[in-house]
Structure 1
């Protein structure tokens, strides 16, 4: 008899919005291929139903919610949890501690839960005081009611053991090694700086924007990302691309082939994320062989190790490091090879998907 799993807390399957969605595009078909009955909960209009890689054996359910920066996760998490409780799957995989509020609903129906706790959301600069409090309470509820936890970095796991006295199964993100891709549009391989990030303060967006003006004196600069809701960072990116023919703002890129090509052909990729554990974009950049200059954080060092160059969140230091890499083809090749090797050894989807299945099976026996 098939084991059934409900996946709650992403935008759906298949979706290209962020790290959780990238994970589910890999994990849901994998679990189905291993004999699981898989249902992924999502939001209307957030998936690509015509995706040629869609696995028809993965069931999808769209529920109602409130589309806003502060209420989306909570509202969709509630409607999905209520629906899942009525169907009573063997186990539920929940993404994000904000959904900790709804774990008692699932627990009351005897449904074991595995929760990916994501990053330390209550410390992110993009959230106001009320949102930070909501995430912290959600984390406490997750610690109390979840049967098993998944942490995507060892540093995050240490925080959960210290603050909540809960152990988490360490499962990072994986990367997909693309074949040889053509450069995007009019860009020349190895001659441009690249940043890929959601426009929030903790991703060093402001610092990179300042650095971009210096870098663009000699090199092209490609910016991928947006806030998703408009605002000052989007306005600044638009201004930069208007004022300089060397700065190209592409907004959010959902085409994996295009995004992978940008990483593959970048002369230097800046990864400015400062919180959140193992970052999916960083792992995928490694799989694409991007020469990486990263903000110096415990999370980025855990993933990259010796495979990257580390800088402080200072525009001058960022610009200096990136220009140094852009000037040296030998340095680019060294960083590319190091990134390839590290990703292949520790951050593949096969490793990740097997670990998630093991965690779900352990929760069934809890």
Structure 2
């Protein structure tokens, strides 16, 4: 097959979940003998035309000059380029800035869209933007030949809202089994003597709730906040609010997967505050890294973690866990999370599910 992947900043991953999936899946496709192309932003640090057998198509992206509006121009450029490529399948990852151009999508390619999370629910967006995103979601449903939901919650939502079927395929992760505690020295940390979170610093990730609990707790061991804190007003607000809490450390974004895995592996408690969207990649990575997870109490997280985590709703819950829970006492939860990754979320399984779905769609069409 000739397969195109758009909707990301590009590969290799320097940004987030979709980029990481695009990297793993595209390389898998190339190894299976398919001709696969990934669209990369012109701002992406990787400027070569090939990555591990994957064609890289660079398209103009003015986001660094004009902000969010640049994403619409970038997606337009990608879609116009895709019209010339003769793809059998065009996989769209998300829809927030691409579906307004849906009438320009190539007619001969099968359009398969991963519907991402409930973007219009994200509290960082104003009411007009939320209304637009709800409209964009509807356009994605209308303009796609097939839909993929990355969680049961999203699959149920699509069925209940649009009376449309979607294929449930989660994200993947790899079991982390090469710990190296020397990496902790780069962050001035000691094994199992710190707690942490990894997230974009956005309101719906419940970071303020978590840090309120950290600040009020009698447990003053280091708390590491991993995520870009200098790209939005909320990040600046959080840094200012907790600047008098010397045990809370904003370390910025970290994209070295070995470092992230070791930080998770050697943490005492790992807080996952995401409340909007489907299967979050960082949650699966935490499970595969033997992190003891304290997750926000919502359907998306519970579907994945089941009884193998603790759940919080408030800062008081966070405070209580910090003062009473030790990782060493809950090895059964860590083992169960590892087993879940091996059985349901390993990358080979997820990649094969996508490819099998593509083949089924082509056969059906």
Worse-superposed segment, 207-216 or 298-307: 207-216
Residue equivalent to 2:300? 299
Residue equivalent to 2:60? 64
Residue equivalent to 2:121? 123
2: CA distance, partners of 1:228 / 1:347? 32
2: CA distance, partners of 1:216 / 1:234? 25
Aligned-residue offset at 1:232: 3.5
The answer as to whether partners of 2:219 and 2:323 remain within 8 angstroms in 1 is no
Aligned-residue offset at 1:239: 5.8
Gapped regions of structure 1 (runs ≥ 5): none
Worse-superposed segment, 163-172 or 95-104: 95-104
The answer as to whether partners of 1:177 and 1:287 remain within 8 angstroms in 2 is yes
Worse-superposed segment, 55-64 or 279-288: 55-64
Residue equivalent to 2:199? 197
Change (3 A) 1:112 1:343: same
Residue equivalent to 2:11? 13
Aligned residues: 356
1: CA distance, partners of 2:217 / 2:266? 17
* 3-state secondary structure, aligned to 2:282: helix
Worse-superposed segment, 92-101 or 285-294: 92-101
Gapped regions of structure 2 (runs ≥ 5): none
CA RMSD of aligned residues (A): 1.9
* 3-state secondary structure, aligned to 2:184: coil
Change (3 A) 1:7 1:61: same
Aligned-residue offset at 1:227: 5.3
Is 1:104 matched with 2:106? no
2: CA distance, partners of 1:35 / 1:27? 13
Is 1:220 matched with 2:222? yes
Aligned-residue offset at 1:47: 4.1
The answer as to whether partners of 1:42 and 1:62 remain within 8 angstroms in 2 is yes
Alignment of 1:79-94 (within 5 A): 79-94=77-92
Aligned-residue offset at 1:238: 5.8
Determine which of 347, 350, 353 is the counterpart of 2:351: 353
Residue equivalent to 1:113? 111
Aligned-residue offset at 1:74: 2.5
Superimposed CA distance per residue, residues 9-40 of structure 1 (whole angstroms, 9 cap, x where no aligned partner): 00111123111011011100000111110110
Residue equivalent to 1:323? 323
Aligned-residue offset at 1:57: 1.1
Is 1:275 matched with 2:271? no
Aligned-residue offset at 1:216: 6.8
The answer as to whether partners of 1:94 and 1:116 remain within 8 angstroms in 2 is yes
TM, length-normalised to structure 2: 0.92
The answer as to whether partners of 1:15 and 1:22 remain within 8 angstroms in 2 is yes
The answer as to whether partners of 1:31 and 1:38 remain within 8 angstroms in 2 is yes
Residue equivalent to 1:290? 291
